[in-house]
Structure 1
């Protein structure tokens, strides 16, 4: 398991399979939630995840592929595009400057 120090997250990537639908909505929601913390939130296809990402959130079915692209970056898998507890934990850790295990 990896640990994410929320106070150190400056770039969060929402990675998808290539579509631009629900994951773009999630990225937009996270941008709003993390604006005060100065976190850059970007949308990316899994093969194009930027190497300078601090954390990646992606559908659970894509998590292994994402880890292969950025093996040194914590990847948080989720089931639901909106209201998923795993994503909510990451947002809270960033907002509160606390650490979580993923």
Structure 2
């Protein structure tokens, strides 16, 4: 597990592979939730995650690939595109400026 400081996150990437739209919906939801925090939320194919990402959230099956693209960036795997508890923890840590284990 990695400890993430929510106050240091400035760029969050939602990484996907299939392009089915669910990850785009998640990115949109996170943009709304984090708007007041000033965090940039972007959607990216897993093979092209920007190197300046502070944290990556991606479907559990893509986590290893994402970690290979950005080995020094925390990658948070999730199961549910909407309402996943791991993603909710990250959002809360960013909003509150606290740390969280991922």
Give the TM-score category using the shorter length. over 0.9
Q: CA RMSD in A?
A: 0.7
CA-to-aligned-CA distance 1:10-62 (integer Å, 9 cap, x gap): 00000001415000000000000000000000000000000000000000000
- In structure 2, the partner of 1:83 is 83
TM-score, with length taken from structure 2: 0.98
Q: CA deviation at 1:84?
A: 0.3
Alignment of 1:58-97 (within 5 A): 58-97=58-97
Give unmatched runs, 5+ long, in structure 2.
Answer: none
Asked if the contact 1:18–1:46 (Cα under 8 Å) also holds between the matched residues in 2, the reply is: no
Give unmatched runs, 5+ long, in structure 1.
Answer: none
Runs of 4+ in 1 over 3 A off after TM superposition: none
TM-score, with length taken from structure 1: 0.98
- In structure 1, the partner of 2:38 is 38
Q: CA deviation at 1:2?
A: 1.4
- In structure 1, the partner of 2:4 is 4
Q: CA deviation at 1:3?
A: 1.2
DSSP 3-state at the match of 1:83: coil
